[in-house]
Amino acid sequence: MAGPSPSTAWWAQRAPSAAAAVLATGTLSVGLDLAGYDGLSRIALGLACAAWLLLAADFTLRLLLAGTRWRAYAGVPGLVDTVATAALTTVAATAVLGTGFSAADAQSLAAVLLVLAVLLWPVPLVLPAQDGQRRRPGTVFARCMATQGLAVLGATLAAAESAAWLAHAALVLFWLGLVLYVLALARFDVRQVAEGRGDHWLAGGALALSALAGARLISSDSARLYLWNVDDRGVLRDVTVVLLVVTLAGCAVLLAAEFLRPRPRTDIRRWATVFTWAKTAAATLAVAAALDVSWLDGLGEVLLWIAVAAWLGATAWAVASARAYAAPGRVRSRAQR
């Protein structure tokens, strides 16, 4: 039975990063909304939706074309891990889009995206890694990101729709996400901090997403719902603050490593870096609002504009890279693909 084509292998290597581009753009929309830039937030949300639809259409088409050859694909070393990571990143991206639509007061569409993300979440979550216990790059945090993405959207919808059960479900996902982060950290190859090409920043991005989930859970409470008692709220507040502090410290370490060990070559995995900057900004702004810490607003806005600059740079490179790859008459060997 014939194995996967070179183009399929080329896409499989880039699928997680393509989903990360959607995730980064959607996260930027959420951050811009938190900062009060509604118009820019809607533009970013529209771009994220367009990219998400293209990604979904491409994945569906390739699934249909694969047909009965899926066994051959499953036998390719590392391919299942790559597809599982892409699926988990897509779950997180779908949840972030839902959060953006909820901010735009489209609660029904946000609920549909939550259902879709929940349906997509379990299978890649439980798939065993093909590479056993080997140390892994930053994509090892995809399980945590997908779970915390669901927690963020669940808490956001719970506040919008006054649904206590949804907030409690989001709380369970929040704690599960933290457990998954610890498990991922144990498998993370710390050498990636000095050698990684961009996706190592997900170590900080997953923490930032967790901090955002904690902030949204705190904000979802109200006198009408009375979700958390004093002790519960205190624990949530303390954990969220610790997560944000560790996130900021982790990003500082990652940034210092970039200066000490420069990696000037542009790589598609840099979308994970853009996501981390955007998510850290969003988490900082959300914590500032949830805990009424006004000085965090200034820090969050600075981080947000850094994320915008990083997004513009990554987008410009992606467009140039795509045009170069598709240039007529260019010769590409199988090895280059």
Cβ neighbours around 111 below 10 Å, total: 19
> Which pairs from 138-141 meet CB under 8 Å and 24+ separation?
138/188, 138/192, 138/196, 138/199, 138/200, 138/201, 138/202, 138/203, 138/272, 139/16, 139/85, 139/89, 139/199, 139/202, 140/184, 140/187, 140/188, 141/181, 141/184, 141/188, 141/202, 141/203, 141/205, 141/206
Of 100, 92, 87, 106, nearest to 147 (Cα)?
92
In-domain check, residue 329: no
| CA–CA dist 269, 200 (Å, integer) | 9
In-domain check, residue 257: yes
Q: How far is CA 131 from the centre of its chain?
A: 23
Q: Hey, what amino acid is at 115?
A: V
- Residue 302: which domain range? 6-320
> What is the domain-level CATH number for residue 49?
1.50.10.150
pTM (predicted TM-score): 0.88
Quote the number of domains for the chain.
1
Could you read off the pLDDT tens digit of each residue along the chain, which spans 337 residues?
444 444 444 445 555 567 788 899 999 999 999 999 999 999 999 999 998 888 777 767 766 665 555 555 555 545 667 778 888 888 999 999 999 999 999 999 999 999 999 999 998 888 766 555 567 788 899 999 999 999 999 999 999 998 999 999 999 999 999 999 999 999 998 899 988 888 899 999 999 999 999 999 999 988 777 888 888 889 999 999 999 999 999 999 999 999 998 877 777 788 899 999 999 999 999 999 999 998 999 999 999 999 999 999 988 887 777 676 655 555 444 444 4
| CA–CA dist 154, 134 (Å, integer) | 33
In-domain check, residue 333: no
In-domain check, residue 334: no
Q: What pLDDT does 1 receive?
A: 44
In-domain check, residue 28: yes
DSSP character string of 4-41: --HHHHHHHHHHHHHHHHHHHHHHHHHHHHHTT-HHHH
Q: What pLDDT does 331 receive?
A: 45
In-domain check, residue 168: yes
